[in-house]
Amino acid sequence: MTFRQHLVAQFMRPSGVLGRMAGYVMAHRASNIGRNTWTLELLSIQAEDRVLEIGFGPGIALRQAAARANMNIIVGIDHSEVMCEQASHRNARSIEAGCMQLYQGTIADLPDFSRGFNKIYSANVVQFWSDPVVEFTSIRKLMAPEGLIATTFMPRNARPTKADVQRMADKIVQALEESGFTGIKPVTKTFGSIDAVCVLARKCTALGFNP
């Protein structure tokens, strides 16, 4: 395996020195920054929103979300110790102010919250889930009535195509439907020469879906 292949493999669960390098790439690559900004724009975070990011990586989107939420609560979960360290350092001021809480682990490891989240998002995380229906079902249980979720995917293989993006968009839409979400809407945008898709959906509170 080449050095580049070892580094690329770190993007699933960064660890050690190569994981720190992967975090640096994620934090400084223009397309990553643009993709996160676009996702948050689609979410239209307001000052009163309770926000959760799944798989926050080095924490660049968390920082933007905190600014948009105007010191309201922002929560993040990531299974990488290295990413938790980088995100905590990057968002130290918000954490110290008590308006951001970061956790290491999976969705199942989050504590019980007294109120549901009305904005939840992830960027380039869904492709690592073995069963998106299970994950989206767990996420829906964390959401407030009519809460909005944004799931963004941007291919990172050597020669990505529009077909790659469409296949993942279809997979996300199907998983959201099976998980009880409604108002599902895929949105695409091109970053340089690479397409990205963000699938928006709302927690359904009718027909018995609301837990």
Give the pLDDT confidence of 57-76 residue by residue, as tens digits. Answer: 899 999 999 988 876 789 99
User: What is the structure's pLDDT at 209?
Assistant: 44
Domains detected in the chain: 30-203 (3.40.50.150)
The CA distance from 58 to 26, in Å, is 7
Three-state secondary structure readout of 59-128: CHHHHHHHHHHCCCCEEEEECCHHHHHHHHHHCHHHHHCCCEEEEECCHHHCCCCCCCEEEEEEECCHHH
pLDDT-derived band at 211, boundaries 50, 70, 90: very low
